[in-house]
Amino acid sequence: MAGFTAKESQAPREAFARGSKRLVATPPESDCATDLLEPGPWVAYLQAMSGFISGDELARVSVLDYLAYDEALSGQNWRLPGGYDAFVAASATVGVTLSAATEVESVELDGRRVALQTHTGTIRAHALIMTASTDVLVGDAIAWPSALDPWRDTARRLAALVRKILLRRSIRASLR
């Protein structure tokens, strides 16, 4: 893993694998994926990985959902037709305001709500779906709450692993 020594990269993978095996062998009655965590220095890393994989911290991930997702893995990284903006817009319920292409200057969390300072003013919401490049998420263009530092640090270290190159078929053919 980029940013980690060989020894450092092995330890969290092993901890994650052990936890996953425990969830499969003996799913907890709590249905809480946090139960895969072992106390140790990699808890923040594993929580960040859960955020990248499942979209939330392990305490809010159902074991049944986690196992269903794990079983359904195909090895494919599917793209959304029209991109994430189109998906979010189509998924929004009545009364939800979509603010696409809005430059965010800072994000503030108060435990119940999110406040975004933007170039057009403040947006307050109960939830936020942030679609941004890894460079934006780990950089300083947006002022992030310090509570997100462990996730941002992990994203910074993993940045080399999540780079994707999309080539059109005609370009690929010319590279052969």
Does residue 18 sit in helix, strand or coil?
Answer: helix
Element holding 148 (H helix, E strand): none
What is the per-residue pLDDT for 170?
42
Count Cβ atoms within 10 A of the Cβ of residue 45 and give its class: 0-12 exposed, 13-18 middle, 19 or more buried: buried
What's the rounded Cα separation, in Å, for the pair 142 and 103?
A: 9
What's the rounded Cα separation, in Å, for the pair 145 and 108?
A: 6
What's the rounded Cα separation, in Å, for the pair 46 and 149?
A: 14
Rounded to 5°, angle at Cα 41 from 22 and 14: 40
Nearest CA-CA partner of 52 in 138, 122, 140:
138
Per-residue pLDDT of the chain (176 residues; tens, 9 = 90+): 556 677 777 888 888 888 888 888 888 888 888 877 788 888 887 888 787 777 778 888 888 888 887 787 777 767 778 887 788 778 777 777 777 788 999 999 988 899 999 999 999 988 887 777 778 888 899 999 998 888 888 777 765 554 444 444 444 444 44
